[in-house]
Amino acid sequence: MKKTKLALSAIALALATFAAQPAWSMDQVSFRLNWYLGGLHTPFYLGKERGYYKDEGIDLTINEGRGSVNTVQVIAAGSDTFGLADSSSLMLMAAKGAEVKAVMSLVNTSAFGVISLAETGIKTAKDLEGKKLAITAGDALTQLFPAVAKYNKIDMSKINLVQVDPAGKVVALLDKRVDALLGGLDDQYFLVKAKGFKPAGLPFADNGANTIGMVILAQEQTIKDKPDMVRRFVKATIRSWQEAIKDPDAAVAAALKAKPTLNGPSTKEQLLKDISFMQSPATKGKPIGWGALSDWESTKALLTEYRGLKTDKPASAFYTDDFIPKQ
C-alpha cells in the first residue's frame, strides 16, 4: 500500500513538473539600439512590457547603443541578434564586408535637417548664405549637406562652417555662436525646444538629400539559419509600433519604467516626429517595415556621390522585405 501511494505521489509530482514547463523553448534574443533610449525606441519597450515578443516565443533583451556604426559592428560580430541603425551605416559597412542585411525598413524618410532658432528667420536653404552653420567633420549630415547645397543652388563659399563636437551643437546654437546646426529633426530639434526656445527645421528630405532613415538589421547567417525566428521578431515589432502609434503615451510610459530620467513630454514629441517619418512617398499604404526599391536605390546613389560608397552590389542586396507580412 505504501509503495502504491509513493508511486502515485511520484507520478503526480512528475505531471505537475511537466505542466509547469513552457509549451516551447523561448528564443533568447538581444536587440541593440542605435543610441541612448529616446522617443524612437519607446515602441520596443512597449512591446516588451505588453508581452508581444513573448507571444512570439521571444525573450527580448534591449541594449542601448553608441551610434549606428557601432551597432552594425556589434551585429556583424554576432554579439547581438538584431540592431537598429541608419541605412547609410548599414550600406557603407556591408560594402566593406560586414555580412548584415536590413530585415525591416522602419523609418523611410530621413530625419536629418538644418535646425535654427525661429527668430533667426532661416526659412529656406538659400537663407543659410551669410550665416554660421555648426557641423561635425566626417559625420553623415556634413557629408550629405553638399547635396542640399547643390539642389538649392547654394554658394557654399557664403556659408561659414563652424566645426563643433556633436554634443556641443545645441549649446552653440542657444549661445548664438552659430545661426544653425546640422542635426536630427527628431532629436536636437526637441533639445532646443526643451530649453524653452522656438526651433525651426529644414528637412534634408525636402531639399534633395533624402535617404532611408532607420532600419532593423541582422546577420545574414541569422537570416539564413533562423528565418522563422526573424519572422516572429518582425511580427512582434510591427505589432509594437502599431500599438505605439495608437497610444504614444503608453509607449513613453513603458520607456520611463526602463529609464526614469527621461523627459516624458520631449520623448513623446520625438516619437511622434519619428512616426511622421516612417513612410516615404514610395511606401505609403504598405505595411510597417516594408522598404521600396526606389528609396534604396536613391539612398545608394547619394551615398556613392557624397559619402564614398563603393560597391558593385545592387541596392536590393542590402535589404529584404521577405519577413514583412503580405497585405
Dump pLDDT digits (tens) for 145-157. Answer: 999 999 999 999 9
Using alpha carbons, select from 89, 91, 90, 84 the residue that is nearest to residue 107. 84
Q: The whole model's pTM is what?
A: 0.89
Long-range contacts of 72-78 (CB under 8 A, 24+ apart): 72/98, 72/100, 72/217, 73/98, 74/32, 75/32, 75/100, 75/217, 75/218, 75/219, 76/100, 76/219, 78/219, 78/221
Q: How many residues does the chain have?
A: 327
How large is the C-alpha radius of gyration of the chain? 23
- Residue range 35-90, pLDDT digits in tens: 999 999 999 999 999 999 999 999 999 999 998 999 999 999 999 999 999 999 99
Pick the CATH number of 27-109+212-318 from 1.10.10.10, 3.40.630.30, 3.40.190.10, 3.40.50.10790: 3.40.190.10
Domain ranges of the chain: 27-109+212-318, 112-206
Pick the CATH number of 112-206 from 3.40.80.10, 3.40.30.10, 3.40.190.10, 3.30.70.2470: 3.40.190.10
Block means of pLDDT (10 residues each) for the chain, 327 residues, are: 50 49 77 95 98 98 94 97 97 97 98 97 97 93 95 97 94 98 95 96 96 98 98 98 98 98 95 97 97 98 97 98 92
